Amino acid sequence: MNPEPLPATQVPLPMGVTVLKPLPRPVSGETIETLEKLLQEAKEGQVSGLALVVLRADGRFDLRLRGAATEESNQMGVAGMLAALQKMTLELY
């Protein structure tokens, strides 16, 4: 049996407390260009699958495998490419 959710209440902030909001992140033109290029290549049949790490503006991320990247026959190839991507990331700085 699930208990009923507690009612939401608002508590006023005491004087002198400042609520900080994160600054909006600029749009990444490089990211947009890459996605548009990949979309075009996929429409032309040149891209058959994707292994993605999506970093969101709020700091969350998604991991996704799509298309041919999910096929058993490509499992080791995709794993190798992800290891190479990890190496590239660690060598950035």
Distance of CA 18 to the CA centre of its chain: 30
Which residues touch 15 (CB under 8 Å, ≥6 apart)?
none
Confidence category of residue 52, pLDDT binned at 50, 70, 90: very high
The tokens describing 70, both together, are 């999910």
Calpha distance 61→8 (Å, rounded): 28
Instruction: Read off the pLDDT of each residue in 47-53 and give the average, rounded to a whole number.
Output: 95
pTM for the whole thing? 0.66
Q: Which residue has the higher pLDDT, 57 or 17?
A: 57
Q: Which of the residue ranges 19-23, 36-40, 63-67, 86-90 would you say has the lowest mean pLDDT?
A: 19-23
Closest CA to 50 of 29, 35, 60, 28: 35
Which residues touch 58 (CB under 8 Å, ≥6 apart)?
22
Calpha distance 52→93 (Å, rounded): 21
Q: What percent of the chain has pLDDT over 70?
A: 82
